[in-house]
Structure 1
Amino acid sequence: MTALAEAAALRPLSLAEVNALASLTLRSCRKYVVPAGLLPVLLEHMERDFGVLCEGGRTAFRYSSAYLDTPDLLTFRQHRQQRRRRFKIRTRSYLDSDLTMLEAKLKGARGVTDKRRTPHDGRPGELTPAGAAFLRDVLDEYGAAPPRPLRVAAVTDYRRTTLVELSGTERITCDTGLVCRHAGQVATMREDLVLLEVKTRHGMTGTERLLHRHGVRPVGFSKYAAAVAVVNPGMGANRWSRVLRRCFDG
C-alpha cells in the first residue's frame, strides 16, 4: 500500500528501540477503520515526533495469529457479551523473523488491556505443556480457570506497520491485508481500508484528535471476533455488524 510505504520516511527504529520506548503491554487500546487515502495526512502529522519499526529495511511485517477457544467458543461469547472480565488466547507468529509467541490478552479495570506473552515452543495453535503451564499461571493470577478443551478456533493473517511516538506515550499499529479464517470459511478485508489501533497509557492522543477532525471515530473491532462472525452471521454478532459490513463487503 503506497501510503504505508511512505512511513519509511519516518525515523527508523529497531525492535529493541520500540520496546524500550513504548512496550505498552498494559495499556488502553482504541481501534479505527481508516480510509487508506487519509494515511498521508496522518503521516505528515507524525513526521517530526514519530518513528517506525524497521528491520532489514522493511517497515511492514507479516503476522499470523491462531486463536484458541473451546468447542462452544467460550471466549468469543464472553467478548460478544462484553463481559467485564474476559480474555483471549492465541499464538502469534512473526513470519518475517520465524518467531512465535503464546499470548493471553486480559481485560482489566476501566477497559485496560494487559497482554502477557511467552516464547512458544510448538507449532502455531498447538498448546504445549509449557504453554499450558504459562496459561494456568497467568489465568490463576487473573482469577479465572483455563478453559478446556482448547483448540484452534480461527486464524488471522495480515501485514503490520508499527509507529511509535518518540516520547514513548503512543504506539500505533496499522494493519492491512487482513484475511480471516474460521470453520473452513475465508473473509478478506477491503484493500482501501486500514485497521489502525492506538495504544497508550494516557487519554486521547493527538493522532486521535486528528482522526476525529476527519470524521473517523473509534470502533469496536476484534480480529478474532471478525474471523468468527463475518463468515458465520448466526453467531449473534449484531454489535459488530455495521463495522464488519464496511470492512468485508466483498
Structure 2
Amino acid sequence: MNAASSPHVAPLSRLDDLRTVDLDALNAAAELQTRVDRKYILPARALPAVLTDLPEESEVLEIGGERALRYASQYFDTPDLDSYFGAARGRRRRFKVRARTYLDSGGSFLEVKTRGARSATVKDRVPVIGDELDSDAVAYASDLLSGAGIPGADELAHRLAPVLLTRYRRVTLLLPASATGDASRATIDVDLTWIGADRTQLQLPRSVIVETKSGQRAGALDRTLWRHGYRPASLSKYGTGMAAVHPSLPSHKWRRVLTRHFSAATVTSLVA
C-alpha cells in the first residue's frame, strides 16, 4: 500500500503525481550531511494544497514500493538532561544523541548531532544493533562530543540512557535546483507519536512536521510554504516532545508550538 492509498496518511495524497527517486540518486543529488534545517508544523489538512504547489520536477523517495516509511528514534540523555537543557537554554555548544531505526527498509544507526558554525547542523552516525548503547557506541559518542568541544564529553557519553521514543511515518522529497539555490531535500512526518520513559504516549494525528534541508539559501519547499503563509517554527522532536510529555520541564523556547499544536494532543498510558 503506498502513501496515497493509506488511510493513515491521507494528507499525502498528492504524492501519486510526483516522480519517484531511489536512495542512491537522492543522496547523490542532495546528501547535505552539513546543512541548514528549517522546521515547520502545520495542520494535516493544509498539506495537500502545499504539495500541489511544488515545482513539477520534484521527486519523492520510494523504497520497496513505499513512500511513507516508518521510523523510530530512541533519544538518549543524561540523568541531568544535559542534552535537553542545552537545547532549551540555547547553549552555543549542544548536542543530541539518538538511535534511529528504519522500520520498513531495515537498519539502525546511532546519530550524534552537534551545533556547528552559522547555525549549521553537523551529523555523524554509525550502525548499531537495537537501541541500547554498548561500549563501542559510547566511545563513538564520546569522540564526537569531544571533537565538537562539548565540556565533559566523555562523562556525558557514559551517562547516556534512553529517555524518549518517537514514532512516525516519513516522506522524503528531492526538490529541484533553481536560480536562487541548489537542489534540496525535505521530509514530511505524519502519524506523530512520542513515548516517554514512564510509558506516557502522546499523539498528534492532526498535525504534520515538515523539515527542509538545504545550504544557506532556502529551498523550493521553503518558498512554497512561505507562499502559503507558513514560517519556520522553533521546534525539536526531542525538546518539544520532552516538554509535552513532562510539563514540569522549562519549555519557553517551544511555548508557541506547544500551545498551538500540542494542546490538542491525545495522551494515553501504555502501562499495563
Partner secondary structure for residue 65 of structure 2? coil
Q: Distance in 2 between matches of 1:102 and 1:28?
A: 21
- The aligned residue for residue 175 of structure 2 is 165
- Number of equivalenced pairs: 247
Cα distance in 1 for partners of 2:51, 2:25 equals 20
- Over 6 Å off, 4+ runs: none
Query: Which consecutive residues of structure 1, in runs of 5 or more, have no partner in the other structure?
Result: none
Look up the match of 1:76. 84
1:242 to 235, 256, 272: 256
Tell me the amino acid that sits aligned with residue 9 of structure 1.
D
Matching residue of 2:12: 4
Determine if contact 2:43/2:208 at 8 Å carries over to the other structure. Answer: yes
Deviates more, 1:109-118 or 1:6-15: 6-15
Find the counterpart in structure 2 of residue 131 from structure 1: 137
Spell out the pairing of 1:33-182 with structure 2 (5 A cutoff): 33-120=41-128, 122-124=129-131, 126-144=132-150, 145-146=153-154, 147=156, 148-167=158-177, 169-182=183-196
Cα contact 2:235–2:254 (8 A) shared by 1: yes
- Amino acid across the alignment from 1:176: V
CA RMSD of aligned residues (A): 1.6
CA change 1:47–1:10 in 2 (3 A) is: farther
Asked if the contact 2:175–2:220 (Cα under 8 Å) also holds between the matched residues in 1, the reply is no
Q: How does 1:207-226 map to 2 (within 5 A)?
A: 207-226=221-240
Query: Which residue matches 1:19?
Result: 27
What amino acid does structure 1 have at the position aligned with 2:148?
A: Y
**Aligned residues with identical type, % of pairs:** 38
**Gap runs ≥5 in structure 2:** 1-8, 266-272
**Aligned 8 A contact 1:176 1:195 in 2:** yes
| TM value normalised by structure 2 | 0.86
Measured in 2, the distance between the counterparts of 1:158 and 1:59 equals 13
Partner amino acid, structure 2, of 1:229? A
Secondary structure of the residue that 2:241 maps to in structure 1? helix
- Say which is worse superposed, 28-37 or 129-138, in terms of deviation: 129-138
Change (3 A) 1:166 1:214: closer
Deviation for aligned residue 1:47 = 4.6
TM-score normalised per structure 1? 0.93
Distance in 2 separating the partners of 1:63 and 1:215? 28
Superposition deviation, residue 140 in structure 1: 2.4
Name which of structure 1's ranges 206-215 and 196-205 shifts more when overlaid on structure 2. Answer: 206-215
Instruction: Give the letter for the 2:145 counterpart.
Output: L
Q: Contact (CA 8 Å) 2:63, 2:105: kept in 1 or not?
A: no
Tell me, in whole angstroms, the C-alpha distance in 1 between the residues paired with 2:19 and 2:42: 23
In structure 1, distance between residues paired with 2:241 and 2:10: 26
For residues 49 and 116 of structure 2, what CA distance do their matches in structure 1 show? 33
